[in-house]
Structure 1
């Protein structure tokens, strides 16, 4: 009896903190891992240059190389090569935050009165000496992760809404890395108001839904706080998708819905992405690489040659420029955070979009990063 009780307890706990596995397309699983490169090489190719610093845990990791948005690329590779994928609450919330940031940055003046009560840009200055004495130009050990929250917190003093607590969420899967990505996404969305100084049959065989039911409910509830900024149609289109995540966390699986994450079930290969993942991008790039409203927010790409191509998505990185006044010499720098690449589990071959951050000198050369201790 005690054994049965213990087993049931373990099953209950695993459902709360573990993963939900969704069996999707009936395709033959890939049998070998994709080739990988070092994180440094992967990220330098994505940002087209060297970087100042990145988070410690990723420095020695290996990544699957990609030149496009890592979340979209993960689904593309999984769909084409029959590989499982893993999705966390942090990834979905970051997609939503980045989409909202794009909207605000494209409509800065129209939305100014929603967020701030001043004109032009207000300069925010954070003195790194008050944070740590370990900030050194060119050092991989400068504690930038301590600088993100201070700048993000300083925004709260000047904005009308509590945008900080809305953006910087905490889910069961959230680590300091995801928190840093949210903080830089916050700097990104407010950057208009502030200056910062410092084979024919394709398919995805399985989707692992990370986190708990309460994480997904939290994201759905957060959507209401993003309404009223001229983008309600986009927010409304995400609500039924988030309900599917909630249902999946309760083991209520709509197989057809999950099979359509990347491409609609009645399609296979080809260049166009037609699945519901495209609804997480309120703006896309046109042929001139300008950001335009996504025409598929309120309609499905059902006709021949409809849908989005991989080069129409943003790169998945939030960006915030700042000046680093380093002992009297000013450097033009950037915080970058978001989807930095793709990790894979060598045993299960599951692909997972990885969230991370890095710091870049805007005037650095395109040579490989030579970080000093």
Structure 2
């Protein structure tokens, strides 16, 4: 069987061979430039490896060749018969690229970025958000509202079909700078506070800048290290609270945990990502209030009412509830083994190295026997209590460098700050996760003579490192639509 595609591909390859052999003689008829020009196609994601990906890339090259040579040559060489399949068309487009290869160099740039944003809802919905920002400004949130107002105004304009494209290009980065782990665009201004010392309690530093800052100066090919917030410091996870339910009919009281907010990401068949909201009402693994009552009855504890730091509401619902009842505590078990619950002033911060080259900050909450300690981490998966070893703790290295004015070298010891900050030589892959509930861990220790609860084979690295998910390819197109 012979198809039109087979015959035409044979002829087209002959045309390509002729053009390559007579490139300069045919140049005035095919292109309008001298020498060689670069044709580049941007690909959103890592190195393409699938048929669908390369189909789209080769199609894009054909369109760019047509922009340079006019549509005639592409129409002449590309298969577009009733029998043509995707494979036939792609093969003929490669023949087209071969024919013009004396005039062009072809490049594929694998890039990261946001190709497009789709807004749902109506303009009236977005106007409601804008009006509500005027109200929250009255809650001593003037600086945050100053950033939110122009952002909300743009949502209104875009929903009406009048987007400011330049502003949307600044959503994550102020310019085309490599490096995705520092957010510098306006989307970071949706957070009034960012994570520090294990809690989301530090004012967002971007809010002190004008919306146009950081600006777009600098080389487009350099790694960006200017003002912004680290990706791991952006708030993640739901809001949660404890609810004490009094069942007057059944005559019992029960403590429930309510969690709600944005809890996930959904990807549709076209590869588009959408935040997903959800809520959960559940019985916690243990009641932190009951655990606190038991510690008060059975063990030594202190409450320092004069400590002004106790008024700082920061931490998980469990941590806040426990801090309201207990300052420090010593839990005594058999064999003179003790667990020591640290007070707020004594909770050291420890930097742990992750496998992706970044670090995760953990906060030391409990000292255990044999030099072990239990620390809290606020990771991308939520709260996690991990088991550290103080034998691996070290002070941060001294600050070293060269004075830019005098040219003299200097070395200063680390500045003493509160809370005390240390580093560990343990890698996060070697730091096991004990659990997600402080109440459950403490209750297990109280009921099992100071033993840690059994744990799944999970590490801090598993909870903290953001996996690189391969881009989902778009669905295959009908060849007849080409």
Question: Which TM-score tier does this pair reach, normalised by the shorter chain?
Answer: 0.3 to 0.5
TM superposition score normalised by structure 2: 0.34
Larger radius of gyration: 2
Flag the structure with more relative contact order, 1 or 2, with Cα contacts below 8 A and sequence separation at least 6.
1
Greater strand share, structure number = 2
